[in-house]
Amino acid sequence: MTMSILARNIETRKRDLGIPTSIKLAKDSGVSRAVLTNIKNNPDKSIMLDSAVRLAESLQCRLEWLATGKGSPTADEYIIASKIEHGAPLVTLNELVNANLSELTQTLLETNRERLPCPIGNSHNQIVIRVSEKLGKYYAGGYMWFDVTKTPVSGQVVLVKTESNVEVMEFQSAHGRQFLKSLNDELPMDLRLSEINDQTLIATFSAYAIF
């Protein structure tokens, strides 16, 4: 039997919240068991608005999601999804120096700041920085997106945290050893490459664009 969106979402939230039976949901919501049974067994059956509101409250979800499946189930998830849809949070390198890297993306989701859509698609794992001065082939005034969960391969650009600052560098690996190469063209070549020691890789390059 095909279930309606409403019936399917009710069952989903019951599982999420550990509500064992429709009897328990009926008791908690004030919506009769007969109405709940009717929703489950009759896909084309509609219910009164006040019953839908009571169910949404008991199931701790958004009314629109419960009835239509659109958006995210809860308000918090909806807000987060809306933020991600608008792009990655714009951060500065100075901000990242003292950031708690393990909680970075969650912290940024909880703050209101400018967000920029990534050319290759948005993700909750992304951050974006503005290029203030030319970095190799990346020109000043452009934007660079980085993924904090992506593991770099040799030749990829990364964000690197040292003791005192955060830099954009190129990751390289060879013969089991890992290196970082400066993107500063003004440095002599013999000073641009150093082996990774105490540095921390924050994120891996995803995309670059100039608006």
pLDDT above 60: residue 71: yes
Q: What is the pTM of this model?
A: 0.62
pLDDT tops 60 at residue 105: yes
Do 90 and 68 lie in a common domain? no
The residue with tokens 């919240």 is 17
The answer on 104 and 67 residing in a single domain is no
Same domain, residue pair 17 and 60: yes
State the Cα–Cα distance between residues 76 and 71, nearest whole angstrom: 11
Of 75-84, 105-114, 129-138, the range with the highest mean pLDDT is 129-138
Q: Which of 179, 187, 182 lies closest to 154 in space, CA to CA? A: 179
Q: What's the mean per-residue pLDDT of the chain?
A: 86
Residue for token digits 């990534």?
118
Whether 91 and 68 map to the same domain: the answer is no
pLDDT at 52 over 80: yes
Beta bridge partners of residue 145, listed in sequence order? 128, 207
- CATH number, domain of 203, equals 2.10.109.10
Distance from chain centroid for Cα 112: 14
Contact 179, 172 (CB under 8 A): yes
In a domain, 79, yes or no: no
In the predicted model, what is the mean pLDDT of residues 10-36?
Answer: 92
Mean pLDDT: which of 121-125, 143-147, 183-187 is highest? 143-147
With CA atoms as reference, report the closest residue to 95 among 84, 114, 109, 108: 108
Residue pLDDT, tens place only, 139-171: 999 999 999 989 999 999 999 998 889 999 999
pLDDT band at 198 (very low <50, low <70, confident <90, very high): confident
Question: Do 29 and 94 fall into the same domain?
Answer: no
- Residue 83 in this model has a pLDDT that exceeds 80: no
Range of the domain at 38: 5-73
What is the DSSP annotation of 67-127? HH--S-SSHHHHHHHHHHHT-EEEE-HHHHHT--GGGHHHHHHTS---EE--TT---TTEE
Domain check: are 119 and 180 in the same one? yes
Q: Is residue 78 part of a domain?
A: no
Paired tokens of 134: 């030319």
Q: Same structural domain for residues 122 and 203?
A: yes
Same domain, 13 and 95: no
Say whether both 62 and 158 belong to one domain. Answer: no
Under the banding of pLDDT at 50, 70 and 90, the label for residue 70 is confident
